[in-house]
Amino acid sequence: MAEIGPNTRLRSSVFYEETVKEGVTAFSPYNRMLMPTSYGDPMAEYDRLINGVSMWDVSVERQVKIKGPDAARIAQVLSVRDLSGIQVNQGKYVPMCDHRGVLVNDPIVLKIAEDEYWLSIADKDILMWSRAIAAERGLRAEITEPDVSPLAIQGPKAEEVAAALFGDWVRDLKFFWFRDAEIDGIPLKVARSGYSKQGGFELYLMDGSRGPDLWNIVREAGRPWGIGPGNPNPMERIESGLLSFGGDTDDNSTPYEAMLGKYVDLHLDDGVVGIKALRGIHAEGPARHLLGVRLEDYAPRPGHAVWYDVMAAGKKAGSMTNGCWSPRLKQVIGFVLVGRALRPGDTVEVIRNGVATPGMLCDLPFL
């Protein structure tokens, strides 16, 4: 087999060696790193997430650390959601837009201290973006990528594993809130969060040299509940209606077209990047929207497909941005990005590898 990197343009996860020992079989590029996307048995990985507990190397969710007197203002200027009420030790899911009101990211913003915020980002260079916006505005803060690597524990048994690791206080953590913790001298922030609707925690590892130690400590603690490796699971996230920035969005997607309209606060001041454009887009009504589609395809098939043509009344009406076999609905499902004229209940055809499959549009989430 051929080798790829690692080098300065393809950074290695601090959990990389452990994921290799676990038998990782696939990766996806993300923030100039590789995110594990399978360990070779998709149905077992899905089952652990739905019924048990799964541990994920999500260190590709890099942190952009903003520290300095203007940190709060910089976080707000970059976010189209009102951050004025955020408390220290709280996170919020926020859309970030460019000056056109087009999404550039959907991070979790963590308030670490009065003068320190982290943006826990999806795939795009927000370090460069943040530095440029802050400098152009004359705002004062250091903006860096810290040595922080999230490890997620997800699934209905995740709370048991987190309680075994840290104590019962984790049971009282509210969604997106976090606390400092230490295990075997490893510095962490423990948050109730994660990219699934099955519940769970994220351990923000703050010392990359301890990556293998942390992986093995979590693996051991989770053994009674059958923990095993997994990853942000395409089947579960599609069933649950979670957005994949860059997967379900393109270079024209606004928050209103990406199910994130409820996180836009149009009353924010004009200094917030994109807010003026969003006021106009909101008044006019967005051109497209994301809906679900249920295909007349009842054959379980592994894998996960993206950006197929969607036809309505014989004309191209948009794209199916993702699609998968749904183990719980026992049908192929996906998201479609289509014009606003198309509504739930309408029928379409999705062209996959030259073959048209009929389907019906529906609301999200599926489950």
Applying CB under 6 A, the residues found at the interface with ligand THG are: 61, 93, 106-108, 120-122, 150, 193-195, 202, 242-243
Q: How far is the CB of 128 from ligand THG (least distance, A)?
A: 17
Nearer to ligand THG among residue 92 and residue 131 (C-beta): 92
Nearer to ligand THG among residue 262 and residue 301 (C-beta): 262
Nearer to ligand THG among residue 141 and residue 190 (C-beta): 190
Q: How far is the CB of 299 from ligand THG (least distance, A)?
A: 29
Peptide bond before residue 358 is cis, with ω within 30 degrees of 0: no
Q: How far is the CB of 91 from ligand THG (least distance, A)?
A: 8
Nearer to ligand THG among residue 150 and residue 155 (C-beta): 150
Nearer to ligand THG among residue 19 and residue 120 (C-beta): 120
Q: How far is the CB of 22 from ligand THG (least distance, A)?
A: 20
Nearer to ligand THG among residue 151 and residue 293 (C-beta): 151
Q: How far is the CB of 201 from ligand THG (least distance, A)?
A: 10
Q: How far is the CB of 224 from ligand THG (least distance, A)?
A: 25
